[in-house]
Homo-oligomer: A and B are copies of this chain.
Amino acid sequence: MTKKEIPVKPYLYPMPVVLVGANVDGKPNFMPIAWTCIVEYSPPTILISASKTHHTSKGIRDNKTFSVNTPSEELVEATDYCGIVSGKEFDKSRIFNVFYGELKTAPMITEAPLNLECKVVQHHEYKSHEIFFGEIVHAHAEERFLKGEVPDIAKIKPFVFSMSDNNYWKLGGLLGKAWRIGRNYKKNKHVIS
């Protein structure tokens, strides 16, 4: 195996795709975001990194709230459309049916299977991007996307994004159970006794 050095870019494969919502000057606006991850389990906290120039970011700064909406495969066109047009020039409030929860200023997407209401608990400026830490204060979903009270990824059918080739991908089949499938490794390899 010979490794070669390749030009340095931020490579992370693959990334989740969410629609982040905020009210900008009182009107709902949405942006697709793949630069997002969980940072804390309790209190449940998620972060997003977004260009400072995004229209939605202005709404997050103003209201200190945002929503995280997980789109299903069927919403891929509408999701991508939100990334093609800017709320500075187009009114995105009519693309989806919108509802609000307790936070009042975090517009959520009815058509998206899973909706999180977040209040900003930290805000970091970072070069051309800014990072919002959102504590999730409420979570909403339709019954048909749940297994018990938990969102079921197989029912939601979310999709992922690969950056360098700019593609969206479906999820494939189950590969294994975490904290379980690794036991096979131990059994088969006997690396560590």
Contacts and interface: CB of A to CB of B under 8 A. Distances in A.
Contacts of A124: 122, 124
Given A40-B127, A168-B176, A4 B143 contact: yes
A177 B186 contact: no
Contacts of A191: 94-95
A63 interface: no
A6 B141 contact: yes
Interface of A: 1-16, 18, 34-47, 49, 68, 70, 73, 76-85, 90-92, 94-95, 99, 110-111, 114-116, 122, 124, 126-129, 131, 133, 136-143, 146-147, 149-153, 156, 158-186, 188-189, 191-192
A158 B168 CA distance: 14
A12 to B, nearest CB: 5
Given A76-B181, A79-B182, A126-B133, 17 more contacts: A4-B143, A8-B44, A11-B116, A12-B18, A15-B38, A38-B163, A42-B127, A80-B182, A84-B179, A91-B192, A94-B191, A95-B191, A152-B165, A153-B169, A160-B160, A167-B174, A168-B176
B182 A77 contact: yes
B2 A153 contact: no
Nearest to A114: B11
